Structure 1
Amino acid sequence: MIPVFTTLARLLATESAVALVTVVGVRGSAPREAGARMIVTAGGDIAGTIGGGRLELEAIAAARAMIAAGTESFAVRRFALGPALGQCCGGHVTLGIETIAVARLGEVASLARVEASGPFETEAAVAEGAPVRRRLVGAATGDPGADLDDGVLREVFGAAGRPVWLFGAGHVGRALVLALAGLPFRVNWVDERAEMFPGAVPGNVRLVVAERPEELMPSAPEGAMVLVMTHDHAVDLAIVHAALARPGIGYVGVIGSATKRARFERRLEELGHAPERAGAFRCPIGVPGIRSKEPAVIAAAVAAELLIEDEAARAAGRRRPPPLVAAVGRRRRG
């Protein structure tokens, strides 16, 4: 996933023209979905991917030829992913390839500013050999996509990203922030101690310093995932208590052992949570089969599970993941 117009604007600062390759149709099995995009320069440098292999090589060659022709244009290319292409997916992919000249840098920069604000939808009437002129339709709520039908190209750019509220800037918190970089999540990283945050963080991370972090939970949006891994068990409990009391939060993770889990269950019941709510968490969190306690390994396992939960929620058409409360343990099993 790349910020399309931000990347185009950056490249057009030094290139006279670039090409944007978009998967606009898929039938059967294919390496990428409709809406996957790749940007190609005249020299053959690329950003993004439409799936690799011979399909991508053919698309790059076509894009470079169109740039070399020296005019802004649009072309449709259809590929059967079979023996003739040296691929065995068995499906069919339709690509839209367009060239964009530096003269349109202002237009591209304008769309880059819209892209930075969140997902949006565009529409364009397209024809072979003519430039693509997109019309901004408005904000979008779906995933990035593209559809070409009867000469009309409808697209969604950008991704909303699942909100993740990460409490704690210790070793695992730092590793998890890095593991989530480039993934479809928007991270609010919270700690009481400003000095614990590193000097630079990924672009999808916002730093929040809060003396009483549990008081932030009422402002967490519906569908947010909450991960609690602070330096203090009492603070952890206060955040979990607030998260479980917040309607719409479907996923809460707490760092700790099985002993800590049992203690938290008892305390949460004492704080007024029904037994099924107080005990509705798993320990440990993360995809199964990984036993290492290294922070980076724990973070990779947690990131993988967050992706699974997020994709399941999107597939089911829900704004939030299933009502699962999970505990991030020190990779302790049983």
Structure 2
Amino acid sequence: MSELRQILDLARLAQSRGEEVCLVTVVGVEGSSYRKPGARMLLTRGGQRAGTISGGCLEAEVSKKAWWLTAEGASIQRYTSFFDEDSGIPFGLGCGGTILLLLERGQPALATLEALRRTLEHDEPAVALISIAEQNPGTRCIVSASGQVLFGDPALAPLAAQTLRNGTHTTLLPASESTPASGATPLFCERITPPPALWIFGAGDDAQPLAEFAHKLGWRITVADGRSHLARPERFPLARQVLTLTPETPLSLKPADAAVLMTHSYEQDHALLARLLPLPLAYLGVLGPRRRTRHIVKSLTQPAQNRLGVTAEEAMARLHAPVGLGLPGHTPAAIALSIAAEIHSVFAAPAAPECVASPAPAHAF
């Protein structure tokens, strides 16, 4: 189960019990840190927690102090893992960085959790604008991608729109005329986006471990296959949807999505590549030898019947073929690991200018 789902499930459980929660958010990092800005941990009054804000070195300490630190409102706490010979061993045990945490409860925490839920369950991005000033910190505004103010000050909505365009960042909000003495307020402007989506075309036994890895990484999973006896929800209980493919089946892939073809069927792969290659996907991979994929692409780019509008070389350049990193192993789990690792590397660095060449996967036969 993804970390975000664990946080939301615990929040729902606490709400059903009438139990107060405290939300801890990483809002700044200097130097090296295990978790990055936007990572969260949820605490309940009963002592339960979900999510992580470090590699395990801060969670217990923050859990102990969270309730009295937030007794009078939101709190900003700074933890460092820098140390020298004259200092004690700090939190982090030598990661070499500083982490800034926001601890918050009450309506701001509940509004943030609701925005996270909407993003996860309804694919609705949002922006959270969080003051990280030591005096009067906390969530100032949450705005959906449609412009709806979900919480806080509507005057900050234009800044939220800018964050949706430009991505997560930290900025300075000038002091208002009503509070000129306060100086500029540093804001952590977080773009909250839906988890990555993976489309697995092929519902064979080798697709099952890939779905499991994807679920562990928090991705939204769709499995589709033309073989109805394989494309069954009970075979892929972790998928959001399982489709039986026909030529008329709508495929609602988005530019940020990844797709993997592992149907083991030349005919299915041929039909799918005709539909998927024109799409600006984040990742498109094909299981099997490169020569097989090249043969399909050449047939799709014949001058007399080119349905793609690109040359065979241009089409091949869009593909990860054979799919996966060059990891050893021939079992379904090993192949799934190599595929998930390659997709994760693309999701984690979407703006990378080029791919670094790696050895051909062991399953490339």
TM-score (norm 2): 0.71
- The match for 1:289 is 327
Deviation at 1:50, TM superposition (A): 0.7
* Paired letter, 2:332: P
- The match for 1:206 is 241
Contact preservation (8 Å) 1:166, 1:226: yes
Task: Please give the alpha-carbon distance, in whole angstroms, between the structure 1 residues aligned to 2:111 and 2:348.
Answer: 33
Instruction: Determine which of 217, 220, 235 is the counterpart of 1:183.
Output: 217
Please give the residue correspondences for 1:83-102 in structure 2 after superposition, counting only pairs within 5 Å.
83=83, 84=88, 85-86=90-91, 87-100=93-106
Give secondary structure in 2 for the equivalent of 1:2: helix
Task: Please give the alpha-carbon distance, in whole angstroms, between the structure 2 residues aligned to 1:294 and 1:125.
Answer: 49
Give secondary structure in 2 for the equivalent of 1:57: helix
Contact preservation (8 Å) 1:29, 1:89: yes
Contact preservation (8 Å) 1:257, 1:329: no
- The match for 2:311 is 274
* Paired letter, 2:201: F
Evaluate the alpha carbon distance shift between residue 75 and residue 171 of structure 1 in structure 2; reply closer, same or farther with a 3 A threshold. Answer: same
Task: Please give the alpha-carbon distance, in whole angstroms, between the structure 2 residues aligned to 1:10 and 1:146.
Answer: 32
Evaluate the alpha carbon distance shift between residue 5 and residue 176 of structure 1 in structure 2; reply closer, same or farther with a 3 A threshold. Answer: closer
- The match for 1:319 is none
Task: Please give the alpha-carbon distance, in whole angstroms, between the structure 2 residues aligned to 1:80 and 1:38.
Answer: 18
Evaluate the alpha carbon distance shift between residue 286 and residue 130 of structure 1 in structure 2; reply closer, same or farther with a 3 A threshold. Answer: same
Between 1:143-152 and 1:26-35, the stretch displaced more is 143-152
- Any unmatched runs of 5+ in structure 1? 317-321
TM-score (norm 1): 0.77
Is 1:114 the counterpart of 2:147? The answer is: no
Give secondary structure in 2 for the equivalent of 1:242: helix
Contact preservation (8 Å) 1:176, 1:300: yes
- The match for 1:312 is 349
Give secondary structure in 2 for the equivalent of 1:241: helix
Between 1:140-149 and 1:298-307, the stretch displaced more is 140-149
- The match for 1:164 is 198
Greater RCO (Cα-Cα under 8 Å, separation 6 or more): 1
Provide, for residues 160-189 of structure 1, a one-character-per-residue CA deviation record: whole Å limited to 9, x for no partner: 233333211111222211111143533332
- The match for 1:82 is 82
Deviation at 1:157, TM superposition (A): 6.4
Evaluate the alpha carbon distance shift between residue 278 and residue 147 of structure 1 in structure 2; reply closer, same or farther with a 3 A threshold. Answer: closer
* Paired letter, 2:326: P
Please give the residue correspondences for 1:26-37 in structure 2 after superposition, counting only pairs within 5 Å.
26-37=29-40
Deviation at 1:123, TM superposition (A): 3.4
* Paired letter, 1:186: R
How many residues of Structure 1 are paired with residues of Structure 2 in the alignment? 317
* Paired letter, 1:82: F
Evaluate the alpha carbon distance shift between residue 54 and residue 161 of structure 1 in structure 2; reply closer, same or farther with a 3 A threshold. Answer: closer
Is 1:228 the counterpart of 2:261? The answer is: yes
Evaluate the alpha carbon distance shift between residue 168 and residue 186 of structure 1 in structure 2; reply closer, same or farther with a 3 A threshold. Answer: same
Contact preservation (8 Å) 1:164, 1:226: yes
- The match for 2:4 is 2
**CA RMSD of the aligned region, Å?**
3.8
Percent sequence identity over aligned pairs:
26
Task: Please give the alpha-carbon distance, in whole angstroms, between the structure 2 residues aligned to 1:230 and 1:329.
Answer: 18
Deviation at 1:301, TM superposition (A): 0.9
Give secondary structure in 2 for the equivalent of 1:13: helix
Is 1:41 the counterpart of 2:41? The answer is: no
Contact preservation (8 Å) 1:6, 1:112: no
Task: Please give the alpha-carbon distance, in whole angstroms, between the structure 1 residues aligned to 2:57 and 2:13.
Answer: 27
